Structure 1
Amino acid sequence: MEFGFLLGDQPLSTPPEEHLDLLLRNVEAGQRAGFTHFTIGQHFLYSDFRWLQPIPILARLAAEIDDHVRIGTTVLVGPLQHPVQLAEDLATLDIITGGKLIVGLGTGYLEREYAAFDKPYSKRYGMLEEQIEILTALWTQDRVTFDGQFWQLDDVTTHVHPIQKPRPPIWLGAMKKVGVRRAARSGDVWTITPQQTVDEVAQLVQIYVEERRARGLPLNPFPLRRELQVADSYDDALRDFAAVARGKYVSYASQGMGLLDQERVEREFLANVADHVLLGTGAQVCDQIAAIADRIPIGPLLIRPHWPGMDAEQSARYLERVGREVVAPLKDLRAVGFDALVA
């Protein structure tokens, strides 16, 4: 089993240079702890917290990673960006990383971001599918013609191609059945969000697998996002998680993340998260991950090493403990294969 983590946001009160230093130190500590995937998400004009933009940040982090480590976006808000610029930026980033880039794309969930870019929020899913077609063409062809609903290209010459052939892997974010089917059609894998229970995920995995098999497309393990807290006991882990994560969950819910109920998050935080967060002692968390891997073909498992307000020392201690008590013990764990799933 491989492990990775999400490089995230910080309160606006954190100086930007301190925010960058935190990300760099997280990557350093993560590599020492055995993590092999480092990813970052994207928001625009966000409130309360600062998200540094993924492509320039990953270009900087590329100088810090070991040869066996991969970096990527989970996820870029694809429809807000013109596919030509996005294709060339990402191809350049793949070159900078030496062919270690993973391209995670999604539609996001904040309507105000679309308004700021003068993009139709109601058309975001169609825009994403069209964008992926254009990205693939620009990365794999010398000349491209495309006549779509949202973008048109007339026999244009391409000049920046990624190192990875035919292209970097595309991870597509999705939360519901329609989105999972879209991920099966258009990407290489579905990136599983952390707010869904294992039972919910298992049902969506079946939908994904059926769609891929119907189209004769290969099946690859699912990157699974999960929040994780290790402590000396389950109750301690639950308490520690609430202390660092409650504020961010409230922010997610208040800004419109559909999988979270704002009132319940604010009044009953622990009841709203305990069914989808990995919590307990190192041994208990290992057992929880093994149980998921026995049902779902996962890999890598992506966690969050810090929450807004934590400093670099806190994150480093967290990563060291998770590396010692979870990553190292599970290095030989193999998830269930697709042949074990219902055809």
Structure 2
Amino acid sequence: MDVGVFLGSQYAPQQDIYSAFQGLVEQTRLIRDTGYDAVWLGQHFLSAPDQYLQTTPMLARLAAEAGDMRLGTNLLLLPLLNPVDIAEQYATMDVITGGRLILGVGLGYRDEEFNAFQINKKHRVGRLVEGVEILKRLWTEENVSFEGKHFTLDNVTISPRPIQKPRPQIWFGATADPAIKRAALQGDAWIATSMTEWGEMKQQVDLFHQTRKEAGLPEKVEFAKCVELFVGDDKESALREAEPFIGAKYKAYYSWGMGDNVPGNSGANSSDFADLARNRFIIGGVDDVIQDCLHHRDTLGVTHLIVRLNFPGMPMELVRRNIERFGREVIPAIR
């Protein structure tokens, strides 16, 4: 099982954004030097009053510090974007990274974003499906023509194309069952959310693999799982240290509507942080964290664990400790 780090790039209104940016560069170097396999960045627009550093320029900057690690988007909100622009930008990104790019894409869910981009949220599935088809074709073909409901191309060629052959992988973020089927049929891998409880997740993993099997697609495929993670001295103290940061982040997620499509209990009504974290986050001492990571590997079949180790408001010394402790004390035990 590979392990990558999701670098949160959302910051409070009063935070010095240049210092925050420098912190992400420092974290990338530390992640590189502590044995991780990848770095991932997400995307949101209009997060004010919070500050959110945008994905594409940040990923290009962090590539200079990433060494041999892969770099990925988790996730680009493709329905809000023009696929020709993304094909060109991320072909260039594949060049910058030396062919180590993974393009993760998702539907998006915030009304504010769709309204500001003047895109009907009801069209997001169609725009995602057409956008992915266009990306695949522009990355592998010359003289691409396409006529869909949302996009039309007439004899279009991009240059340069990506270094990776035939193209960079496109991983689908998906939470609800219909989206997981879409990920199975159209994506190169599925990125699962950190909100779904592990019991519900097992059923969705089975759905993902069964969908591919019925379609005659290779059953051996990467499966990534996002996890909020904090390594402390023991379970009790780790929960206490993590709550001000992970708990606050999830209040923001739920206020944005992120939990609306989560199967089973989304955690939105949990009044106790320990209850929210149970079978959803990985928080504890080293042995607790190893055990939960092995559950992801051996029971859920995760091939790429994407852990978030920094959270809005978390002091840098605590972020460093989390990165180092997980990298040096946990990763060797779960590979």
TM class, shorter-length = over 0.9
Q: How far apart, CA to CA, are the structure 1 residues paired with 2:216 and 2:173?
A: 21
Matched length: 328
Tell me the amino acid that sits aligned with residue 36 of structure 1. D
Give the deviation of 1:66 after TM superposition.
1.3
How far is the alpha carbon of 1:183 from its aligned partner?
0.5
Q: What is the distance in 2 between the residues matched to 1:91 and 1:296?
A: 32
Deviation track 1:14-70 (CA, whole Å, cap 9, x = no partner) reads 122112101101111112221111000000111342221111111111111112x10
After TM superposition, give the deviation of residue 248 of structure 1 in Å.
0.9
* Corresponding position of 1:341: none
The answer for the alignment partner of 2:225 in structure 1 is 224
- TM-score norm. by structure 2 comes to 0.94
Distance in 2 between residues matched to 1:274 and 1:291, nearest whole Å: 13
Within 5 Å, give how 1:104-123 maps onto structure 2. Answer: 104-123=104-123
- Where does residue 136 of structure 2 map in the other structure? 136
Report if the CA contact (8 A) 2:188-2:222 is conserved.
no
Structure 1 SS opposite 2:59: helix
CA deviations 1:175-204 (Å, max 9, x no partner) are: 010000010111111101111122111111
The structural deviation recorded for 1:208 is 0.9
Question: 1:302 — aligned with what?
Answer: 306
Partner SS state of residue 305, structure 2: strand
Aligned to 2:182: 182
Any idea what SS the aligned residue of 2:303 has?
A: strand
Structure 1 alignment gaps of length 5 or more: 332-343
Alpha-carbon offset, residue 273 of structure 1 = 2.6
Q: What is the alpha-carbon distance in structure 2 between the residues aligned to residue 158 and residue 187 of structure 1? A: 22
Structure 1: how far apart are the matches of 2:22 and 2:191? 27
- Give distance in 2, aligned partners of 1:49 and 1:182: 32
TM-score of the superposed pair, with normalisation by structure 1: 0.92
Aligned 1:320-331 pairs, distance under 5 A: 320-331=324-335
* Alpha-carbon offset, residue 76 of structure 1: 0.4
TM-superposed deviation, 1:250: 0.7
Amino acid at match of 1:49: D
**Corresponding position of 2:318:** 314
The answer to whether the 8 A contact 1:174-1:193 is kept is: yes
d(CA) in 1 for partners of 2:224, 2:46: 27
Seq. identity, %: 37
Kindly report which structure 2 residues correspond to 1:1-343, keeping only aligned pairs within 5 A, or say none.
1-8=1-8, 9-67=10-68, 69-218=69-218, 219-257=220-258, 258=260, 259=262, 260=266, 262=268, 264-265=269-270, 267-331=271-335
- Structure 1 Cα separation of the partners of residues 319 and 326 of structure 2: 10
Inter-partner Cα distance in structure 2 for 1:273 and 1:285: 13
Closer, same or farther: CA 12–110 of 1 in aligned 2, 3 Å: same
* Counterpart secondary structure, 1:316: helix
Shift of 1:113: 0.2
Please give the alpha-carbon distance, in whole angstroms, between the structure 1 residues aligned to 2:194 and 2:241: 18
Q: What residue identity is the alignment partner of 2:308?
A: R
AA aligned opposite 1:33: T
1:92-117: CA deviations, max 9, x gaps? 10011100100000011101101100
AA aligned to 2:278 is A
Shift, 1:274, TM fit: 2.0
Secondary structure at 2:171 match in 1: strand
Aligned residues: CA RMSD: 1.4
The answer on whether the counterparts of 2:11 and 2:17 sit within 8 Å (CA) in structure 1 is no
The answer on whether the counterparts of 1:25 and 1:312 sit within 8 Å (CA) in structure 2 is no
Residue type of the alignment partner of 2:210: E
1:288, distance to aligned residue in structure 2 (A): 1.6
Separation in 2 of the partners of 1:23 and 1:299?
Answer: 25
Q: Is the 8 A contact 1:33 1:327 kept in 2?
A: no
| TM-fit CA distance, 1:261 | 5.2
The letter of the residue matching 1:26 is Q
